[in-house]
Structure 1
Amino acid sequence: MSVQALTEWIFPRMVELRRTFHRYPELAFEEEQTALVIMEELQRLDIPFEYGGVGGGVVGRISGRDDGPTIALRADMDGLPGDETTGLSFASVNPGKMHACGHDGHMAMLLGAAAMLKENPPPGNVVLIFQPAEERGAGARVIIQSGALNRVKAIFGGHVMRQFRVGEIMVAPGVITAQSDKFVIRVRGRGGHGARPHEAVDAVVVAGLLIMAVQTLVSREINPFHPSVVTIGQVQAGTAPNVIAEHAVLQGTIRTTERPVRKHIIEGLKRMAKATGVLHNAVVDVEVTEGYPPVVNTKQEAEIARAAALKVVGQQGLVPLDYPSMGAEDFAYYLERIPGCYVRFGARREGWENIPLHSPAFDFAEEALKVGAAFFNEVAREAINTYAAQEA
């Protein structure tokens, strides 16, 4: 059976699986029922697997030839907090939870590819990684600590995007997503009556000055050719309209693609906070928590992924990377250990608007499942053949 015929054959099952995952989303490290569905499907396909328990991953293994190269394919399992507004017949039935980032599709794609690889095993070994907690908690590190990457030559993953049309795959070497860091700025002034500001140190005023000042870190201190973002997303202060606030808390995110730029922004944030505190007789503390590293595709693996994508969508379906995404992805942790490549799967039908990931209205065209499954199948074979030839 040809790859195209096999893909068409398994498509209804992928749709069924995707809709089951979508209907019953679970948050990071809570993916118990999700893992159960995956394990039942792997059992149906007669694929052996290991399960790390609730909060762990499901790792399946397809053995074509023991002495052949081993590669890994990864899908993420967790949903997001939020109330779905898609109106789908299979919309989430779990209040406050939904698959707003396409992970339901990623799991279905990988299970579809598993069926294809099981039907015709390549001359090597494939590790199927179903990972918890991509959105929050860096579940990739759980997989790494489990030893699932032992003897793995390279890893491949991908993400659905309505930015691209169905039948398109974005493949590129180098930086794909940004480093993400979280910061908290705590301002301590001196509270007082709103009618007597001269007796107080207004934490709201200090916080307001900081909100505007930190925007100049990117606009006036960073080379425009180095993509960077500083966003303050939360502000908390005050207890009553006629009381001058003694405390204020600002929380935000820093996104960078260059380590020197990241260092400069963090140092600049602390410099501005300290100076603003001195200027207004307040105490200002800054706490920065390191987030996910940038995803950096390795050159050879990007070439392997490109060759696989060409077989699936042809030259017309290959999409270049105009610029890195300022989003973050814990696939980066795998790429710090072994080579690999992270791609994007087009998931927008003609006439659809580009509803962004994490929107309560997010959905994707299910035809993308065919493309993703076929790509995972082809990239596993392409990688195994490439590494086997190099080792011969």
Structure 2
Amino acid sequence: MGQVQTYEDVIFSWFDHFHANPEVSWKEVETTKKIASILNEMKIPYKTFSDVTGLVAEIGQGEDVIAVRADIDALWQEVDGAMRANHSCGHDANISMVLGALLKLKDERLNKRIRFIFQPAEETGGGAIEMVKRGVIDDVTHLFGVHLRPIEELPYGKVTPAIHHGAALFLSGSIHGVDAHGARPHQGKNAIDIVVAIQQMLKSIYIDPFEVYSAKLTKVVADGGSINIIPGNATFSIDVRAQKNAILDVLQDRINEGLKQISNMYQTEIEWYWNDKTPGAEVSDEATKLAWDAVKEKLGEEYLAGPIQTPGSDDFHFYTVLKPNLKAAMLGIGADLAPGLHHPKMTFKKEAIIVGANALTATLLKAANK
């Protein structure tokens, strides 16, 4: 006779599967199929999409709808010398925590419907937008998310009812100068000189010191093909972050103006475009209090930690930007996660998945029966 699996065993088996089978953004085909098979086993109705990965499940009754989102994609990064998909952001744990909450809630008496959104492509910043386009939050009043936190933000055994992510924006650019012989620099337009000017421009942006922000070059490629050739052409990337969306907009304007001035000063064409804007958190006080009270009542006050701010970003906050009346909060789960999110060898205490599933279950139950 086989051994009966405990609740924890089931969740860990789900996590082990997702961890061993990562898929990058928009290619989460097998991940979507696996989630669907789990929902089939639980006899939970769900909806897939013909043109994108991901799926949406729902339980409960009534006109009012609350929702929870799990991101399902992995990163593409170098691990042990080889490029591959890798769940170094913990989305495998996020899926498992949300499925764990669904498993506990499916037989509960609920006064509202609870929608479970298994969203693709968080890492590329477009998944939430596509879910909104498909109407998955049109009738939703409250939205919750969940994510493991690095050890420096939250230790194992602690749960925060709200993560205040920062806003992020990325720039890709190119410089179109003129190559020159190393002995005759006056005959060319040195792309490296322009890159240095861009670096100095970024370091000369000053905003209120009480605001949290940064702007930095993250990639520069300039190569004339030989040591004695001064390169005229280069490509570059800039990573821009701020805790507030308004400050991010100021940084974008300053950088646009700075690049125009540098182009004029060096009489050299610079092209650039902005991509993958991720908004900062717009956290609902009501949703935060619901999560706070639920964790306190069901897990105990010793599990509670206050809301945290993080310089990282998450496309979860597109939901509130695109639907301003939505009351949303993302729970953070302490897991002794190290060295950090997106590190190729990121590790954490697996037991944190159970803590997260329990915290999420309590929060969704309280919100559904409010």
2:355 maps to 1:374:
no
2:67 partner amino acid: A
TM-score normalized by the length of structure 1: 0.86
Instruction: Kindly provide the CA deviation profile for residues 293-339 of structure 1, in whole angstroms up to 9, marking residues without a partner as x.
Output: 112111111111111221344222222245x3221111111122121
2:220 maps to 1:232:
no
Structure-2 change in CA distance of 1:259 and 1:114 (3 Å)? closer
Q: Give the superposition deviation at 1:283.
A: 2.8
Report the equivalent of 2:158. 168
Report the equivalent of 1:91. none
2:31 maps to 1:31:
no
Identify which range, 188-197 or 261-270, moves more after superposition.
Answer: 261-270
1:120 partner amino acid: E
Report the equivalent of 2:76. 81
2:228 maps to 1:242:
yes
Match of 1:66 among 37, 62, 65: 62
In 1, Cα distance between the equivalents of 2:331 and 2:260?
Answer: 41
Instruction: Kindly provide the CA deviation profile for residues 246-283 of structure 1, in whole angstroms up to 9, marking residues without a partner as x.
Output: 11222111112334422322222123223333333323
2:11 maps to 1:14:
yes
Instruction: Kindly provide the CA deviation profile for residues 195-241 of structure 1, in whole angstroms up to 9, marking residues without a partner as x.
Output: 11121221111111211321221xxx111211111121110112222
2:68 partner amino acid: L
In 2, Cα distance between the equivalents of 1:379 and 1:23?
Answer: 29
Report the equivalent of 2:97. 109
Q: Secondary structure at the match of 1:153?
A: strand
2:306 maps to 1:329:
no
Q: Give the superposition deviation at 1:53.
A: 4.3
Report the equivalent of 1:4. none
Instruction: Kindly provide the CA deviation profile for residues 33-57 of structure 1, in whole angstroms up to 9, marking residues without a partner as x.
Output: 1111111111111111111146332
2:70 partner amino acid: A
Report the equivalent of 1:298. 284
Instruction: Kindly provide the CA deviation profile for residues 8-64 of structure 1, in whole angstroms up to 9, marking residues without a partner as x.
Output: 94111000000000101000011111111111111111111111146332111112x
Structure 2 spans left out of the alignment, 5+ residues: none
Structure-2 change in CA distance of 1:249 and 1:84 (3 Å)? closer
1:191 partner amino acid: D
Match of 1:156 among 144, 150, 153: 144
2:345 maps to 1:365:
no
In 2, Cα distance between the equivalents of 1:361 and 1:261?
Answer: 33
Identify which range, 186-195 or 22-31, moves more after superposition.
Answer: 186-195
Report the equivalent of 1:99. 87
Instruction: Kindly provide the CA deviation profile for residues 92-151 of structure 1, in whole angstroms up to 9, marking residues without a partner as x.
Output: xx9611111111011111111111001323222111111111101421122222222232
In 2, Cα distance between the equivalents of 1:334 and 1:19?
Answer: 29
1:210 partner amino acid: I
TM-score normalized by the length of structure 2: 0.91
Sequence identity (%): 25
Report the equivalent of 1:197. 185
Report the equivalent of 1:271. 257
Q: Is the 8 A contact 1:56 1:143 kept in 2?
A: no
In 1, Cα distance between the equivalents of 2:355 and 2:37?
Answer: 23
In 2, Cα distance between the equivalents of 1:40 and 1:32?
Answer: 12
Q: Is the 8 A contact 2:165 2:280 kept in 1?
A: yes
Report the equivalent of 1:206. 194
In 1, Cα distance between the equivalents of 2:249 and 2:150?
Answer: 33
Report the equivalent of 1:222. 207
CA RMSD of aligned residues (A): 2.0
Q: Is the 8 A contact 2:155 2:335 kept in 1?
A: yes
In 2, Cα distance between the equivalents of 1:376 and 1:131?
Answer: 17
In 1, Cα distance between the equivalents of 2:291 and 2:220?
Answer: 43
May I ask how many residue pairs the two structures share in their alignment? 359
Structure 1 spans left out of the alignment, 5+ residues: 1-7, 86-93, 387-392
